[in-house]
Structure 1
Amino acid sequence: MATLVEATSSQQFEDLLSKAGKFLTVVHFQAAWAPQCSQMNDVMGELAKENKHTMFVKLEAEAVPEVSEKYEITSVPTFLFFKGGQKIDRLDGAHAPELTNKVQRLSVSSGGLGGPGAEPPKEDLNERLKRLINAAPCMLFMKGSPQEPRCGFSRQIVALFKDHAIQFSSFDILSDEEVRGGLKTFSNWPTYPQVYVNGELVGGLDIVKELAESGELENTCPKAVTLEHRLKSTINRSPVMLFMKGNKEQAKCGFSLQILEIMNSSGVEYSTFDILEDEEVKEAVSVYDICKTIMMKPKDVFLHVNMIFCIYLPITNVQVRQGLKTYSNWPTYPQLYVNGELIGGLDIVKVRIDFCFTPQTIIALIITST
């Protein structure tokens, strides 16, 4: 039945619910002016490919006000889940992992994923919990997300992590009652939020506060990479580092091309960093592409990969490009570094060549003088 359709009237909406019968129907209340709705439609399209017995419906909330009012739709995107014409669940906001999880769970109970009555083997809860608490070096089980905490305690612990530059992934316990109840027993800890490091329970908000006050939080939880650390690491990646627009094979501006010709004629080994296209950002995009392909898997798998993308690679090419200008107090590119020390840009290299006559001499002088 795998269907993705649009309902443009109240009658069409009711007809679609009737047609779906006992099978799951997911209705997206959307608005054309909201970009997040467009993104979630892409998610629904992928879900429709994998869930052959689920109907996915798009409905313009303002165009069919009688339906929106009936189901108390106050914001977009909002998702309602129906079986047998009755609403059984609801999801407010653009939360792709939670939408995926609900579709997976509700479609199984309605005979999806293989046909009526065909349910896949259910993973043992304890095994699933073990996998979740080990999903990242530091895992936070909370109400909501770091961007939108849904209780005061969760909001406080996220703020503490941010203040202390802690690198973490999170799981929204409100999206999965089985995990929410099971983890309390599994770890013998009755409240949330809960923090795990390397699969071991650290504790809740009070414990994290104590660790922060004693200065032990940074030693207990992994630190996020700061921009300064990233810059230091990058300029020391090779004894001779050239920050430029483009790379050795292709310069993307005239200044970069000129300094590249000087470096290539010197015979000195050097490395380059393309300030226009940071390789780690390319890797992050690859991770996101992987997320899109596995998003039909259980929510916790998608969430783990998605959070690695969001948190483990927080420093973008724009930040490196702008940050290096401030870090080295040098406002333009290209920039040449030797043994971690700034030599200068194209004009400096050209001036030294004027005095030293050859590119080989200038590069040798640069290396021996730093």
Structure 2
Amino acid sequence: MSENLMNSANSQNDEIDIFELLGKIWKGKFSIIVITLAFFALGVLYTIIATPWYSAKARISVPYYKNLEENKKELLVEADMIINKIQSKYIDALKGQPKESAFVEKIAPAKISGTKNNLKDFLDIEVMGKSNDEAIALINQIVKEEQEANSEDVQTRKRNVENKLHNVEIRIKFLQNNIEKLQLQSDQIDTIFMPNKDKEIANLQNTVLPNDKKAYDELINKVIPNLENEMQNIEKELKNPNLNQNNAIILKERLNDLRNRYMSATTTTKQKFEHDLHDSEFVKIPNLLKDKENLVASQTDILNKIDEKSDEIIKLKTQQEILQASLAKQNLSNVVIKDDLIVTNEKPVKPKKLLIVAIVTFLGGVLGVFWVLSKITMQNIKNRIKNNV
């Protein structure tokens, strides 16, 4: 029972002490206000004399090549390699050293929008400068350094594409020349060889063969029978007893001549006509028709070759367009600032004046309270010492 009464009394004493303490703090409010205002003034003064720092941010693309033939993007350098290089040179190497007119505040892999995943082909850089121009200048300097460092790789890739393009162009020109030659052959077949064959065939079928047949028929049906009749008539006259010697001699010479002509007509001339007719009908005309078929086949073969080479040219020209497009700026690029965009602010981002003033003022208030409490504590200690004495 007595312990409960004592605890209750102690609690009442604590409450009395707290109110008393708050009262004493209230009495020292002017000191607290003075200290707080002093710190507020110091904060304002600092924000006035502190060096303003401006921020410049950019997204930087690493060197890459778009292989349009295989529809894929090939990175010539990973973003992490460039990040480590810039981190080492512009951040780690300058730690503990006074800040220059511009310095790299942060460099990191670019994030895929809306995710935590990194982009392998972009990096984000933030530079602080005493002015926007100085911050921008440092970003451009870093980009230029990386461009020079990766220039050889980019140029090598460019030369490879240009060599491919050159070979494709040579092949196209070669095929075009071949097509021109084949087209010339085709035109010659159409305009010269084929018409000539048709003329030869027509001449044999419509002129030579009918004339030879007519001559042969005339030989068989007219010339030879006429010679036979003449020889028979002369032979009859030679048998005439009243024929004088001179006429007989003339008739015999005439008969010999007719016999020679008859022999020539029935052998040499007849055989020649038969040979010519057979040669024209069964050798020359078939051979000419075969030659014409060969010309048609050659023409077909030439046209097929022209079509094949034309198809190859179409494919090569498609490849040529792809290679030409691969050399475009958007498909073969060194280190560049994405969209040529550097984001800056009109006002400095450091120091954060309101935040600094607020924090310093708050610390001043805390320190003022601490100062008053310290004075109260010291006064209590002095009082206790006097009382004990």
- Alignment TM-score, normalising by the size of structure 1: 0.17
- Structure 1 or 2: larger helix share? 2
- Alignment TM-score, normalising by the size of structure 2: 0.17
Query: Quick one: higher RCO (CA 8 Å, sep 6+), 1 or 2?
Result: 2
Tell which structure's C-alpha radius of gyration is larger: 2
